[in-house]
Structure 1
Amino acid sequence: MAQVLEFKLPDLGEGLTEAEIVRWLVNVGDVVAVDQPVVEVETAKAMVDVPCPYAGVVTARFGEEGSELPVGAPLITVAVGADASGGSSEGSGNVLVGYGTSEAPARRRRVRQAQPAARNGRAEPREVPAAPAAPETPAAPEPARPSDGPVPVISPLVRRLARENGLDLRELTGSGPDGLILRADVEYALRAAAAQHRTAAPAPAPVARPVVGGETRTPLKGVRGAVADKLSRSRSEIPDATCWVDADATELMRARTAMNAAGGPKISLLALLARICTAALARFPELNSTVDQEAREVVRFGHVHLGFAAQTERGLVVPVVRDAHARDAESLTAEFARLTESARTGTLTPAELTGGTFTLNNYGVFGVDGSTPIINHPEAAMLGVGRIIPKPWVHEGELAVRQVVQLSLTFDHRVCDGGTAGGFLRYVADCVEQPAVLLRTL
């Protein structure tokens, strides 16, 4: 006798309560193995393939692509058992990108078969007695057509671009290795479709396109929604203040050039700034903290998990470098590069996006000189770094052209006063102007 087990959207951790179905990886009637990904979902943190902890035959799936499901809602039902799948019905207990999958229920249930009618995107099940399976392996689904099966795509962002523009990826021939579909392939197909549409039917603009003087509405969900919520909470809960200073970064730039000329892995400017931050936090630990509002306590951390702002196609994200205080410049450079690439491809895990204790925001990459950063709640401070550009500067009593940068610190006034914040910022500026100052803390 086969039994039908219901696999629900697992607890995603890190306070995440819902996810959007991006793409189903299985159909009803497909045979799945233990830990085989069955659906791709997007949370407010990352894109995740959800593996099923059961082996068997998919009897129903719930939710359409593009719909949102709360944690605990059914994803699929699977008929498991020796006759149905040729394997064990026990849950895998394995870990899903940092999330635990649950074990299989101990009790048996009647087989659920989905009827054609559906309500709110969910199949309406009806209970029928489980039919005894044939002694041989059950009949396989209809032979797969060439267009069936997963489509090799370089990143979830490419898949989303195609979905949002109504493009069927199965109709494309990828130009990457082994037919991998690249973003350039999707963009080329979209341009070709647009040109064909203009030639065949020069009709009025699509309804979705705003008319002159009209308006468009974009739902605040996913990454953009999570960022909006965090920024709003920061502004409403944290009494912040900002101080800033201009610093001569000429010697820091020379020191970096000398490091990279000596051979070995190249050192990034962001890594040097991060090293300066961790040294400053060791001297001014009040800024490496958070406020527990319920307990009315300031919680000071003994470690530095350094967040850094990264702009991606999915919006602003803040990956976190764990134990940044214990890393040297080479290790920091490598970790920044790894996390930046994961952010670009949308593969950051929730664990890599949470738990920061202090944030470094290099908005100078956007070509701006200064800013008043909004604190990354629930942290207590954020250091902003503007672009480094040649400016007139008094150096050793004479006017000279130097590489100047503006540094700004936004801090929670509950954890310290202006003297502490000013001392932190001044120490950072001193290290930028005279990198040898760092030798005292190494």
Structure 2
Amino acid sequence: MGIHVIKMPDIGEGIAEVELVAWHVEVGQTIKEDQPLADVMTDKAAVEIPSPVSGKVLELGGRIGEMMAVGSELIRLEVEGDGNLKAGAPVRETKVETSPVVAAASKPVADVPAEKPAAPRHDAKRAPAEPRRAEPAAQPRAALAPGERPLASPAVRQRAWDMGVELRYVRGTGDAGRILHTDLDAYARTGSGAARASQAHGYDERHDETEVPLIGLRRAIARKMQEAKRRIPHFSYVEEIDVTELESLRTDLNRRYGDTRGRLTPLPLLIRAMVIALRDFPQINARFDDEAGVVTRYGAVHMGVATQTDGGLTVPVLRHAEARDVWSISAEIARLADAVRTNRAQRDELSGSTITISSLGALGGIVSTPVINHPEVGIVGVNRIVERPMIRDGAVVARKMMNLSSSFDHRVVDGADAAEFIQAVRGVLERPALLFVE
């Protein structure tokens, strides 16, 4: 038997380090060639690292949230044959902590949960965790001491994450106290005294605290928003739009073509209206390199579509929106949303936008102040549609109204230009036949 060291591969594009966001294996596990080992983040995408060989995991080379340099040791395996490690080289006894560790900041764009955050902290002093001893398979284990790593497979850990269960509270009935799927099922039915004791009821005083380190996508969002607000002098403009006719047209299009072309939401119609309006406002479909002092205006409209995922906000890019009809836009939005929510989006699908649209749908509120997606110079925020009484031709009538709340980079976009652009979008939306006229 030999030892095979797998190093952090070169992801490409000049990337020198990546963030480790999830392990798919654990020490002692036997793995096969091409089996996923870990997920890492670059400043553009999540990347899955597969194993080039089969073997048994001896050592994990990093902790969740740690920044790892390209070429650093990722994992050690015991393999058949000589392996690739020189004879006599020591094997470090590295333990990977359960809770994430926040290292130097990075700019990842997708997140894969690996562990639930640490259990709530209490005021009482903790006794040091005792070394874990193997127990007979038939003897369920009690709750673990704080800081002790539960023994469970990656599949069980992922399921526990989805269920919102702290594994250290679950009694394992497998070999050496390993937690099985059946143990999760039992816990879900009955819970445990330790877990229940940490839950407050009614008017009980609470003194628990939970630390949630920022890693993966959440860290990327924090950095991106901080950088955008620090570098860009935002100003916002809000306009009210009557979308009664637009909604009527959308309903009719879905009735006529929904089964053959797909059903339309308001979003593709809004994007098409922006594409039409941007023809007269090229300074808004642009990116500003404030270090070089250069504004690049684009003929192509690569629309960033802010998309909420389980890990946080991601902005996939709808490329060449100017060359698509509303059904093509709708289909591409659905494809991109599925890709980012299942962590399958490619790097080129997550970069290169020239302007962004952000919509919370029914949760869109009345007014918002969206943050510009740096280095773009404009973002359009869509608020919810509400039916309100309006006066038309002297009569009070029910109309469907919606606000557009937009932000612009005041270094590049003047207030008058921003207002005229949104008014142009409004003009198309309130006369929706213009969406289909060239």
Instruction: For residues 369-413 of structure 1, give each alpha carbon's deviation from its aligned partner in whole angstroms, at most 9, with x where no partner exists.
Output: 111111111111000111111112233453311100011221111
The equivalent residue for 1:370 is: 367
The equivalent residue for 2:18 is: 18
Please tell me whether the aligned partners of residues 20 and 38 of structure 2 are also in contact (alpha carbons under 8 angstroms). no
Inter-partner Cα distance in structure 2 for 1:120 and 1:313: 25
Inter-partner Cα distance in structure 1 for 2:380 and 2:62: 42
**Secondary structure at 2:367 match in 1:** coil
Cα gap change, 1:284/1:417 in structure 2, threshold over 3 Å: closer, same or farther?
same
Cα gap change, 1:212/1:257 in structure 2, threshold over 3 Å: closer, same or farther?
same
The equivalent residue for 1:49 is: 48
Instruction: For residues 168-197 of structure 1, give each alpha carbon's deviation from its aligned partner in whole angstroms, at most 9, with x where no partner exists.
Output: 896116xxxxxxxxxxx97x6654352x42
The equivalent residue for 1:101 is: none
Shift in Å, 1:418: 1.6
Structure 2 residue 147 is the aligned partner of structure 1 residue 172: no
The equivalent residue for 2:256 is: 262
Inter-partner Cα distance in structure 1 for 2:82 and 2:95: 28
Pairing 1:31-430 to 2, within 5 Å after superposition: 32-33=32-33, 35-41=34-40, 48-52=47-51, 54-55=52-53, 57=55, 60-63=58-61, 66=64, 68-72=66-70, 73-77=72-76, 110-111=86-87, 115=91, 117-118=93-94, 158=159, 160-161=161-162, 165-166=166-167, 171-172=180-181, 191-192=188-189, 194=191, 196-197=192-193, 203=197, 212=206, 216-263=210-257, 264=260, 265-430=262-427
Amino acid of the structure 2 residue aligned with 1:391: R
Cα gap change, 1:117/1:408 in structure 2, threshold over 3 Å: closer, same or farther?
closer
Shift in Å, 1:434: 0.6
**Secondary structure at 1:262 match in 2:** helix
Amino acid of the structure 2 residue aligned with 1:403: K
Inter-partner Cα distance in structure 2 for 1:71 and 1:365: 43
Cα gap change, 1:383/1:65 in structure 2, threshold over 3 Å: closer, same or farther?
same
**Secondary structure at 1:365 match in 2:** helix
Cα gap change, 1:189/1:394 in structure 2, threshold over 3 Å: closer, same or farther?
farther
**Secondary structure at 1:370 match in 2:** coil
Please tell me whether the aligned partners of residues 368 and 387 of structure 1 are also in contact (alpha carbons under 8 angstroms). yes
Instruction: For residues 66-116 of structure 1, give each alpha carbon's deviation from its aligned partner in whole angstroms, at most 9, with x where no partner exists.
Output: 3524232211246889x569xxxxxxxxxxxxxxxxxxxxxx862466546
Amino acid of the structure 2 residue aligned with 1:172: H
Please tell me whether the aligned partners of residues 62 and 74 of structure 2 are also in contact (alpha carbons under 8 angstroms). no
Amino acid of the structure 2 residue aligned with 1:236: R
TM-score, normalised to structure 2, is 0.72
Inter-partner Cα distance in structure 2 for 1:371 and 1:271: 20
Shift in Å, 1:279: 1.6
Uncovered stretches (5+) of structure 1, i.e. residues with no partner: 86-107, 122-144, 174-184
Amino acid of the structure 2 residue aligned with 1:394: I
Shift in Å, 1:305: 1.6
Shift in Å, 1:324: 1.9
Uncovered stretches (5+) of structure 2, i.e. residues with no partner: 98-136, 138-150, 173-177
Please tell me whether the aligned partners of residues 44 and 223 of structure 1 are also in contact (alpha carbons under 8 angstroms). no
Please tell me whether the aligned partners of residues 61 and 75 of structure 2 are also in contact (alpha carbons under 8 angstroms). no
Inter-partner Cα distance in structure 2 for 1:363 and 1:29: 43
Amino acid of the structure 2 residue aligned with 1:110: K
Shift in Å, 1:268: 2.1
Amino acid of the structure 2 residue aligned with 1:246: E
Amino acid of the structure 2 residue aligned with 1:165: E
Instruction: For residues 325-353 of structure 1, give each alpha carbon's deviation from its aligned partner in whole angstroms, at most 9, with x where no partner exists.
Output: 22221111112112222333344344333
Amino acid of the structure 2 residue aligned with 1:71: A
The equivalent residue for 1:438 is: 435
Cα gap change, 1:170/1:281 in structure 2, threshold over 3 Å: closer, same or farther?
farther
Q: Which moved more, 1:360-369 or 1:161-170?
A: 161-170
TM-score, normalised to structure 1, is 0.71
Inter-partner Cα distance in structure 2 for 1:344 and 1:432: 29
Please tell me whether the aligned partners of residues 40 and 50 of structure 1 are also in contact (alpha carbons under 8 angstroms). yes
